[in-house]
Amino acid sequence: MAKKNSTSADLDALLRDPADPDEAAALVTALIDEIRKHDVAYHQKDAPSIADADYDKLKRRLQTLERDYPETLREDSPSLAVGAAPAQGFRKVRHARPMLSLNNAFSDEDVADFAQSVRSFLKEFKDDPERKLDFIAEAKIDGLSCSLTYENGELVLAATRGDGLEGEDVTANARHVADIPQKLKGKGWPAKLEVRGEVYMEHAAFFALNERRAEAGLPLFVNPRNTAAGSLRQLDPNETKNRPVRFFGYALGETSEPIADTQHGIREKLHKWGLELNEPSKVTSDLGELLEFYREIGERRASLPYDIDGVVYKVDRLDLQRRLGDVQRAPRWAVAHKFPAERATTVLEKIDIQVGRTGALTPVAHLTPVNVGGVMVARATLHNADEIERKDIREGDTVIVQRAGDVIPQVVEVVLEKRPKGSKPYAFPTICPCKLKAPTHREEGEAVTRCTGELACPFQQVERLRHFASRDALDIEGLGDTTVRQFFEEGFLKLPADIFRLKHKRDAIIALHGWKDVSVDKLLAAIEARRGAPLDRFLTALGIRYVGETNARKLALHYGDYPTWRQAMADALADDSEARKELEGVFVADSKTAKGVVAKELIAFFEEPHNVQALDDVANEVKPSPVERPATDSPVAGKTVVFTGTLEKMTRPEAKARAEQLGAKVAGSVSKKTDYVVAGAEAGSKLKAATELGVAVLSEDEWLTLIGDG
C-alpha cells in the first residue's frame, strides 16, 4: 500500500542541514520521532501517512546525519531496525532475581586478584591456601542478555535484561528465535525453570542479511550484536522470524528446585533439555590453566562463527556462589576477562571542555570519526589536565584511540612523528567556559579542576537536570540531553522540580521546533509515571557526590522511606548526634569509598540552604516509593546488625553479605537503633558500647543459630 503525501514544509524542515552538532542531535531526535510515527501508521494501523519517496528521504537523511555525526547514532535508531515498536511499548517484566552485569578484568593480574578475593571471602579457603577451588571458564558472547521462563517444560515468558531489575516481555518474538525450544526435551526439569543466556547473530548470517538489504536499497546494519538486539524487539514477530537470530543458554535464574550442584552441571542439564551452549568451556582449579584457556580462545576468536569479547570465569560450586553473593550490581563469584582493547589511529581536531554537575571540567577530544571495534568514534575522554600534560596531547595531533568493552573511548598516545609543525602545548582553562566566566579552582591533591560558579553555573545546572532524568537516576524516557538543554535555554527548566511542572508548559513546548502533540504528550506521560519512583533512584538523581546507585540503595534500604531519610539527615547535622553516628555506620569500613566520606558529603549537602530548598521543592512533586527488600521471612529481616571482633567460621565480608541476603541492615557502629551486636574474639569498643546501651550481644554460634545456619 502506497503512503500518502505529507506537507513539503514539514519535510523540508526535517531534511535541512544542521548548523552545529547540537542542532544535528536535535534533528536526529526529530527524524526518529517522525519515522516512528509513520512506521506505526504503516505497520500497525495499515494507514500510511506519507508517500514512499518522502519516507525514503527521511530514512536517508537520518542515515546521513548518523554518518556525519556518529555520536548521534542510537541503538534504537530506525536505521538499525525494521518496523515500529508496539503501540504501547513492550510489557515490563520484573525479574524474580536481578540479572546482574559482570565486573571486568583486563590483565592476568586482574584475574589473579579476582581469584584471591574469592579465597579471601570464604574462610576455609582463606585459612588453607592449598585447598582446591574450581572455576569454570566460558566464552563471553557479545550479544543481548535474555531470560527464558519455562513452566512444566513449556516456554511461557522471554524477557530482556533491561536495567537488571526490570526488562521487557519479548515472548512473541523469542518464539521465532532459533535454538529457543518451545518445549524442553527429555524429562526431569523442574516445574519452573528460568534459563538465562545470550541472543546473538552469526557472522555469515549477518553478512547475508546485509547483502539482501543492500540489494533492496536499505541501510546496512552496523554489527551483529546491535542487529540481534534490534531483531528481538520488532513489532511484528514475523520480522524476527525473518532474521537469523540464535540463542545460547548457559545460566539459571529462578527455579522451583535445584537441578545441579555446579555450574558445569547446569550446562550439562540445559544441553540435555535442548538448549545450545557457548562452547568450549573448561573446569579447573589452576589459575595458569584458566589463563591458557583465555589465550587459546583469543587465538581462535577470528575463526569462531560469532562474536566474543572475552572469557568469563565463574566459581563452579553453586553453594559457594550463594555464599559469595553479589556486590553492587555484579556477582562476587564471576568476572569477565576482556580481550585487549580495540585501537585505531585518527586525528585530534580540537579539545573541548565539558562541565559536569559537580563543576568538574573534563577535556574531550573531538576526533576525525574512526571505526574502533565496530563502533564509529568521534569523541574521546582526555580525563584531566594532568593526563593531557603527561601524554603531551595537542590539537592537530595524530593519536591512537582505544575502546575496551563499554568503556568510554580514550586517547592512548600521540604519534609524535606525525605532529604538525608549530603545534603548541594545550593550555588548560583557568576560566570556566560558562556564561559566568567564573575562575576555575583545583584543590591540592586532587586531579580535577572545577568551576567556582557552583549552582549559578548554567553548565552545572543543565548537567544536574540531565543527571536527574537519566537512565541510572529517575529514568524519564524522552528527557535526554538535547531536550534538557533545549528546555533550559527556553526557561522551562531550572530546578529538578520544574520537570514535574512541565505539564503547565504544554502549549509552549508544542510551539517549539520539532515538537508536536503526540511527542509532548508522550514526554509528559513519562514524567508523570516517575512521580512514584523508587527511593534509591530518587536519591541517585539528587547528584550528591559519592551517592551513586550503590550508596543510594544502601541509604534507601537502611532508612526505608523518604520521610524517615529526610528527618534523619536533618538530625545528623548535629555533631555527635545518634543520627550522625547512624549515618556514618551505614557505610561500613570495607566499602571502596573511604569511611566517613559519604556521610560528610550528605551533611555538606544539607548544610547548604539552597540544596534543602531545592530538595523540598522536588519532594512536593515526587513521592518516592520504598525500595523492595529481598523477599525473606528470616528472623533478622529489617534488623540492624553490627559485627565486631574476629569471627571463626566465616570472614567478616561473608558475614555481612549473608546478613544482607537475609534482609538485615549491617551498620559499622553501634547506636540505640542497633538490634544485635555479633561479637567474635577480641571484640573491643563496639562490644563495650553495646553493653552500655543495652543492645543484644550474640556470639558467632548464637548468630548462626538465629539465622538458621548453625
Contact yes or no for 160/198 (Cβ under 8 A):
no
Indicate the residue type of 256. Answer: S
Contact yes or no for 149/194 (Cβ under 8 A):
yes
Q: Are strands 192-201 and 144-151 parallel, antiparallel or unpaired?
A: antiparallel
- Rounded Cα gap, residues 475 and 163, in angstroms: 10
Strand partners, 148: 158, 195
Predicted pLDDT at 460:
85
Distances (CA, A) of 194 to 148, 166, 233, 266, 301: 5, 15, 20, 12, 29
Predicted pLDDT at 676:
94
| Residue bearing the bigger pLDDT, 135 or 307 | 135
Instruction: Out of 3, 123, 140, 665, pick the active-site residue.
Output: 140
Q: What is the pLDDT of residues 261-316, one digit of tens each?
A: 999 999 999 999 999 999 899 999 999 999 999 999 999 988 899 989 899 999 99
State yes or no: pLDDT of 40 exceeds 70: no
Predicted pLDDT at 117:
95
Indicate the residue type of 174. Answer: A
Q: Determine which of 18-22, 564-568, 579-583 has the lowest per-residue pLDDT on average.
A: 18-22
The confidence band for 487, taking pLDDT boundaries of 50, 70 and 90, is: very high
The confidence band for 504, taking pLDDT boundaries of 50, 70 and 90, is: very high
Predicted pLDDT at 46:
40
Distances (CA, A) of 203 to 141, 223, 295: 13, 9, 22
State yes or no: pLDDT of 387 exceeds 60: yes
Q: Taking Cα atoms as reference points, which of 607, 604, 578 lies closest to residue 667?
A: 578
State pTM to two decimals. 0.67
Predicted pLDDT at 66:
75
Question: Mean pLDDT, to the nearest integer, of 458-464?
Answer: 87
State yes or no: pLDDT of 374 exceeds 80: no
State yes or no: pLDDT of 241 exceeds 90: no
Q: Which domains can be identified in the chain, with CATH numbers?
A: 8-80 (1.10.287.610), 104-338 (3.30.470.30), 457-528 (1.10.150.20), 535-619 (1.10.150.20), 640-706 (3.40.50.10190)
Predicted pLDDT at 272:
96
Following CA atoms 681, 687, 688, 690 in sequence, which dihedral angle do they give, to the nearest 10 degrees? -160
- Rounded Cα gap, residues 243 and 259, in angstroms: 33
The confidence band for 79, taking pLDDT boundaries of 50, 70 and 90, is: low
What are the backbone dihedrals phi and psi of residue 446, each rounded to the nearest 5 degrees, phi first?
Answer: -105, 150
Question: Mean pLDDT, to the nearest integer, of 582-601?
Answer: 71
| Residue bearing the bigger pLDDT, 41 or 179 | 179
Contact yes or no for 149/157 (Cβ under 8 A):
yes
Predicted pLDDT at 627:
80
Predicted pLDDT at 406:
53
Indicate the residue type of 601. Answer: E
Residue 562, Ramachandran bin (φ over 0: left; ψ between -120 and 50: alpha; else beta): alpha
Q: Taking Cα atoms as reference points, which of 114, 156, 119 lies closest to residue 137?
A: 114
The confidence band for 590, taking pLDDT boundaries of 50, 70 and 90, is: very low
Q: Taking Cα atoms as reference points, which of 235, 82, 233 lies closest to residue 144?
A: 233
The confidence band for 638, taking pLDDT boundaries of 50, 70 and 90, is: confident
Looking up cell 573534563 gives: 362
Q: Radius of gyration (Cα) for the chain, nearest Å? A: 27
Question: Mean pLDDT, to the nearest integer, of 608-622?
Answer: 90
**DSSP SS3 for 637:** coil
The confidence band for 595, taking pLDDT boundaries of 50, 70 and 90, is: low
Percent of the chain clearing pLDDT 70 (strictly above): 90
| Residue bearing the bigger pLDDT, 625 or 371 | 625
Contact yes or no for 154/214 (Cβ under 8 A):
no
Looking up cell 494507514 gives: 47
The answer to whether 435 is a known catalytic residue is no
Residue 152, Ramachandran bin (φ over 0: left; ψ between -120 and 50: alpha; else beta): left
Question: Mean pLDDT, to the nearest integer, of 584-588?
Answer: 78
Predicted pLDDT at 523:
94
- Rounded Cα gap, residues 371 and 529, in angstroms: 38
Q: Taking Cα atoms as reference points, which of 249, 248, 250, 252 lies closest to residue 321?
A: 252
Task: Give me the long-range contacts of 324-327 (CB less than 8 A, separation at least 24).
Answer: 324/118, 324/121, 324/122, 324/654, 324/657, 325/657, 325/658, 325/660, 325/661, 326/98, 326/100, 327/657
**DSSP SS3 for 521:** helix
Q: What is the pLDDT of the chain when averaged over all its residues?
A: 86
Query: Side by side, which strands form the sheet with 144-151?
Result: 154-160, 144-151, 192-201, 245-255
Q: What is the pLDDT of residues 642-685, one digit of tens each?
A: 999 989 999 988 998 888 888 888 888 888 889 999 998 888 88
Predicted pLDDT at 48:
58
Question: Mean pLDDT, to the nearest integer, of 110-124?
Answer: 96
Predicted pLDDT at 84:
37
What's the full length of the chain, in residues?
A: 710
Predicted pLDDT at 6:
47
Q: What is the pLDDT of residues 326-357, one digit of tens each?
A: 886 789 999 999 988 788 999 999 999 988 88
Q: What is the pLDDT of residues 393-420, one digit of tens each?
A: 999 999 999 876 556 788 999 999 999 9
The confidence band for 377, taking pLDDT boundaries of 50, 70 and 90, is: confident
Predicted pLDDT at 45:
44
User: What is the SS3 string spanning 481-508?
Assistant: HHHHHHHHHCCCCCCHHHHCCHHHHHHH
Q: Which of 10-24, 38-52, 161-175, 619-633 has the highest mean pLDDT?
A: 161-175
Burial of 332 (0-12, 13-18, 19+ CB in 10 A): buried
Distances (CA, A) of 245 to 241, 279, 388, 431: 8, 18, 44, 52
Residue 170: DSSP 8-state: -
